[in-house]
Structure 1
Amino acid sequence: MDLFSLIACCVVLFDLFPIASAALYNTVIQTNYGPVQGYPAFNSSPTGNLTNWKDITVWKGIPFAATTAGQNRFKPPQAAESWNSTLLARSWGNVCPSATSDSDYTIDEDCLNLNIWSAANSTDAKLPVVMWSYPAASTAADALFDGGGMANKGVVYVNYNYRTGSFGWLALPELSEERYAETGYNSSGNWGMLDQFAALKWIHVNIEAFGGDPDHITVMGQSAGSAATYHILNSPLTEGLIVGAIIESGVRDPHDPLCTSLAEGYATLDASLSVGVEYIEGLNISTLAELRELPMDDLVTSMGTNFMATLDHYALPATYLETLLNGSANNVPVMTGNTKDESGASYGLNITVAEYLADINSTYSGNWTVEFLALYPANDSTTASGAYNSQWTDRSNVGTWLWSQLWATASTNPVYTYFWDHAPPGQDQGAHHESEINYVLNNLYDTDLPWEQEDYVIAAKMNAYWVNFIKTGNPNGGDLTQWNATNTSALVQHVGDGWGAIPAAPAEKVALYKAWFDSLVAY
């Protein structure tokens, strides 16, 4: 082979394979439990906006705590056992029971593991870090939460698994006695929340070895994952560990009755204890010792009970209203918002006027019915369906905006509020719950939808806003349309099918929702 042919061959190989010295996948990383080694996240250029794909390393299935089975069941996450040989982190870890029924995953109580994507070229890169918490009935292995798009922009992205259902939230008098002996708090439940805190603490201790900055961690999640993010924001158990929070489809005015039933819902300790006692009676047992001996599947098949977070004044320190008025444990910038077709609004809805009126009368009873019908009138199926969706969408937008005003009571940091209205192609649910995630994470390459050119353009902009916020606490930068922090003008940022400041709702509707919320008991 002559010299020119040899050079040409080398150029081809350079294009096909990443250079080993330019990424961390050929480096053994030392964690506080043992050594791990990752691998290239991509073997070829993914479709979309990724320009640094050759540098991205992924580590999968790294344990951040011990198994939650047996005597560790219904306890805070315990320290993982250390290992000496290098963990080849090429496979997803086990999924926690009740998170998903997908047979592609191994479901087991030994499930507290995490995944990391990093484009760092050295272990001392000190890149900003984001921790992603997934929504309900999901897992960190879901392609929707792939972190390559974030890593491509110089962010170390981490997602993780945590306990849900009875495994994550069961409260019992015996458990409260255990926790009181350990902590001095009459606390029970919130095991999944403590998993979330443990993952954050693992990141803080270990992420520097993966090229991340342990002192620059933003927490982020959607729906149930936004509740996890909100708990981290508020809890004294995580104080000082984060620099920002992104809460997607999560917060609203604490007077809104939806707070009790959607992802951010929680129960009093007495209510949670009552649910727990009834639950174990249904299993024909009466003691905690018996409960810890039951096979995992016995608890998985008994998931009909509505388990949720518990107001224990330990992990969850106060009501949401008290936290807003008195200040959260972490006084940091916040980004939050909603999608058009969620939290009651349904794309393609077709209801009768009678159905609409029945809903309005049950939701806004008494004199409020007349006031809401005046602003959301209907005289046929088309207008009834539109008015129904409009009042739910406005309720979310106004409620989130009002939350931001309450946040300003005790916080010195800004809130950036958005409204997403782009409907991904190939589906019939509109701008549905979770529809912004692919765009935020810029990972369209990993989801099987018939993406169009405009989707890649939107993803680049959405991801840029989110990356800017993760890096600086402010979504603005570059040539992006200016996004102002929420203020008394009731403007939020339109993202998706348009860009820029828009009202949360028309002024008279904002005033009506504020008055209605103020008439209700706070959560």
Structure 2
Amino acid sequence: MNQSRRARLSLAALAPGLLVGANAALYDTVIDTQYGKLQGYPAFTSEPAGNLTHWKDIAVWKNIPFAATTGGQNRWKAPQPASGWNGTRDAKSYGSVCPSATSGSSEFTIDEDCLNLNIWSPANSTDAKLPVVMWSYPALSTAADALFDGGGMADQGIVFVNYNYRTGSFGWLAHPELSEEFEAVTGSNSSGNWGMLDQFAALKWIHENIADFGGDPEHITVMGQSAGSAASQHILNSPLTKGLIVGAIVESGVRDPHDPLCTSLAENYKTLEYNLDQGIRFAASLNASSISELRELPMDDLIVSGGTFGSTSEWDFTATLDYYAIPDTYYNTLVKGLAHDVPVLTGNTKDESGASYGLNISVSTYLQEMNETFSEPWLSRFLEQYNGNTSTTASAAYNAQWTDRSKVGTWLWASLWATAKTNPVYTYIWDHAPPGQDQGAYHESEINYVLNNLYGTDLPWTAEDYAIAQKMNSYWANFIKNGNPNGQGLTKWPAAGTDETVQHVGNGWGQIPLTLEAKVELFEEWFDTLVAY
């Protein structure tokens, strides 16, 4: 990096009486980027609760644009380059969030000029070349959510970046006119993956600019949960991100591509034909006869109840299998080796993807639910293995088959990965229930612990929670640094292999069986009869 791009000391920006030495935190420095100067701030003004040891060194910069506004004529286009600014940009507060991201919350400013990111760095020099992680949030979320605060990960000597991306109709609308526009620019007669292209653009911005914040552009790991895990998986798979990452963390994401859940959970995609048809119907519902007319509509007219994963309505806005950003089906991507050959860390929580903590159902309801999932002869075989023929066993059996399905499916994904890749996959099952709630080890419940940011969430944390967070964060930080979660003082975590085991994290540590061998074989046999996604 030449001198003009290095961070330079600006005495005028320093707080009165603040002494700056050779190893000053970067919030004592004005960062000189290719877009303009940035003033960051201390991530903490006092010691946070928990076990952070380098909190005084952590700087944060918020609301850095990585692309131009997505409004007006940029609506339903690939992200356009960000503009520079004059003077020094104050990076103290979060920027606008994208429409459809927050279920109508008034806590945030919602605007189509929302492609911004936030950086937490513990570096004492712009030459530090620290490992970098890019966090992608789950559905109905935003980078400004305290659950995704990056200070805990930065405490491990890692530069943490989170960002906003388009969702709902703004992020996933396909339409023949849009495909025609897109083909003229890219050569691909497709449309619909605008949110995914935002995710790719954020990664590319990080690669090009993170050295200014003490990060190593050649050592970026992508990481996300649920819809954010889908983002990580698409980055892992896509030819458009070739050479940009050294690892991927996919929390509550991957499963055997034969599993029908792939078509409905966060990683789901639709065919281009399906999404084009939906786009035409969506435009008609708004009395718009062209994309030009749709671009003239107010933002609020395009926010629909089905605009984000997890909602229910006639609209089902989701990713498009375009053979451009997404190179192929998940199954073909695995067996053909189309994904980047980098280490992967992935797993599930106990009470998600069909399993519900505290479930209380009758035998008749159990049988009805199982009958809706399995047809004969599979129904009888699953009922034999998951015996719920009494009021005391029905709920447990129902939950067990869902949790086992996640564990076995993720292990089978790792097996398919190994058919064409040499780098390891580390799988886990999380079972710790955070305090102060009644959903058990619910979907998203591991995030606070992984990011070691319990200080930012208002739950009645205990000493046990802080201890678990320290271990979880250490595993994840080791993976980000080395492509391997193992490290001093941690229970060994082997990579997934032919043995039918998974790493237990949360209420216990170490390898445990996926489930009974007969149940593993049953899921394998059932999946093999289904169409691959």
TM surpasses 0.5:
yes
Deviation at 1:228, TM superposition (A): 0.2
Q: Residue 43 of structure 1 aligns to which amino acid in structure 2?
A: T
Contact 2:327/2:338 (8 A) holds in 1: no
Q: Distance in 2 between matches of 1:18 and 1:451?
A: 34
Q: From 244, 248, 252, give the equivalent of 1:249.
A: 252
Q: Partners of 2:243 and 2:155 in 1: how far apart?
A: 27
Which of 412, 418, 429 is the aligned partner of 1:419? 429
1:492-511 → structure 2 map (5 Å cutoff): 492-511=502-521
Q: 1:137 aligns with which of 117, 136, 140?
A: 140
- Which residue of 2 is the match for residue 4 of structure 1? none
Partner residue of 1:396? 406
Please list, as runs of the form range in 1=range in 2, the aligned pairs for 1:356-367 lying within 5 A after superposition.
356-367=366-377
Alignment deviations for residues 469-506 of structure 1 (CA, whole Å, 9 cap, x no partner)? 00000000111000000001011100000000011111
* Alpha-carbon displacement from aligned partner over 1:49-104 (angstroms, at most 9, x marks no partner): 10100000000000000000000000000011111211110010100000012211
CA deviation map 1:94-139 (0-9, x unaligned): 0000001221100000000000000100000000000000000000
Q: How does 1:228-267 map to 2 (within 5 A)?
A: 228-267=231-270
Q: 2:8 corresponds to which residue?
A: none
- 2:389 aligned to 379, 396, 411, which one? 379
Tell me the distance in 2 between the aligned counterparts of 1:59 and 1:402. 40
Alignment partner, residue 294 of structure 1: 297
Q: Does 1:118 align with 2:128?
A: no
CA–CA distance in 1 between the matches of 2:515 and 2:184?
50
Contact 2:221 2:247 in 1 (8 A): yes
Q: Secondary structure at the match of 2:27?
A: coil
Residue 477 (structure 1) aligned with residue 463 (structure 2): no
CA distance in 2, matches of 1:249, 1:408: 20
Task: Please report how far the alpha carbon of residue 468 of structure 1 lies from its aligned counterpart in structure 2 after TM superposition.
Answer: 0.3
Residue 72 of structure 2, aligned match among 63, 66, 70: 70
Alignment of 1:8-23 (within 5 A): 20-21=20-21, 22-23=24-25
Cα distance between partner residues in 1 of 2:304 and 2:527 = 38
Equivalent position SS for 2:83: coil
Amino acid at match of 1:237: L
Shift of 1:423: 0.2
Alignment-mate amino acid for residue 330 of structure 2: Y
8 Å contact from structure 1 (residues 233, 328) kept in 2: no
Please tell me whether the aligned partners of residues 18 and 55 of structure 1 are also in contact (alpha carbons under 8 angstroms).
no
Superposition pairs of residues 403-442 of structure 1, within 5 angstroms: 403-442=413-452
Offset of residue 19 of structure 1: 6.2
Secondary structure in 2 aligned to 1:252? Answer: coil
Q: 1:20 to 1:222 in 2, by over 3 A?
A: farther
- Tell me the CA shift for residue 31 of structure 1: 2.2
Cα distance, 1:20 vs structure 2: 4.3
1:30 aligns with 2:32: yes
Which of residues 311, 317, 320 is equivalent to 1:310? 320
What is the aligned partner in structure 2 of residue 333 from structure 1? 343
Unaligned runs of 5+ in 2: 1-16, 308-312
Match of 1:166 in 2: 169
Report the Cα distance in structure 1 between the residues aligned to 2:63 and 2:216, rounded to whole angstroms.
Answer: 21
Quick one: distance in 1 between partners of 2:207 and 2:304? 36
Aligned amino acid, residue 77 of structure 2: K
**Equivalent of 1:452, from 462, 468, 487?**
462
2: distance between equivalents of 1:349 and 1:415? 32
Alpha-carbon deviation of 1:301?
Answer: 4.0
The two structures, once aligned, show a CA RMSD in angstroms of: 1.0
- Structure 2 residue 526 is the aligned partner of structure 1 residue 516: yes
1:329 positional shift: 3.6
* 2:100 counterpart residue number: 98
1:4-60 deviations in Å (ceiling 9; x for gaps): xxxxxxxxxxxxx98644200021112222211100010110000101000000000
Q: How far 1:183 sits from its partner (Å)?
A: 1.1
Q: Secondary structure at the match of 1:227?
A: helix
Q: 2:365 aligns with which of 355, 358, 363?
A: 355
For residues 417-467 of structure 1, the C-alpha deviation after alignment (integer angstroms, 9 at most, x for no partner) is 000000000000000000000000000000000000000000000000000
1:321-348 Cα offsets, whole Å, 9 max, x none, are 0000011341100000000000000000
The residue identity in structure 2 corresponding to 1:45 is: E
Letter of the aligned partner of 1:72 in structure 2? Answer: N
Paired residue secondary structure (2:26) = coil
For residue 392 of structure 2, give the secondary structure of its aligned residue in structure 1: helix
Distance 1:51 1:145 in 2: 19
- Higher mean C-alpha deviation, range 303-312 or range 289-298: 303-312
**Paired AA for residue 174 in structure 2:** A
**Secondary structure class of the residue paired with 2:371:** helix
Q: Could you tell me whether the CA contact under 8 Å between 2:355 and 2:398 is conserved in 1? A: yes
Deviation at 1:381, TM superposition (A): 2.2
Deviation at 1:379, TM superposition (A): 2.2
C-alpha distance in 2, partners of 1:398/1:460? 27
Question: Residues 19 and 443 (structure 1 numbering): CA distance in 2 closer, same or farther, change over 3 Å?
Answer: farther
Match of 1:175 among 175, 178, 185: 178
Q: Who is 1:128 aligned against?
A: 131
CA contact (8 A) 2:169 2:304 kept: no
**Partners in 1 of 2:28 and 2:88 — Cα distance?**
12
Residue identity over aligned pairs, in percent, reads 72
How many angstroms apart in 2 are the aligned matches of 1:456 and 1:133? 24
- Scaled by the length of structure 1, the TM-score of the pair is 0.96
| Shift of residue 317, structure 1, vs aligned partner | 0.9
Matched, 1:269 2:272: yes
Matches of 2:455 and 2:20, distance apart in 1? 24
Matched AA of 2:289: S
Return the alpha-carbon distance in structure 2 between the equivalents of residues 306 and 269 of structure 1. Answer: 13
Instruction: Say which of 149, 152, 161 aligns to 2:152.
Output: 149
* Aligned partner of 2:89 among 87, 91, 105: 87
**Aligned counterparts of 2:374 and 2:362: Cα–Cα separation in 1:** 18
Q: TM-score, normalised by structure 2?
A: 0.94
Given that 2:152 and 2:453 are in contact with CA atoms closer than 8 Å, whether structure 1 keeps it comes out as: yes
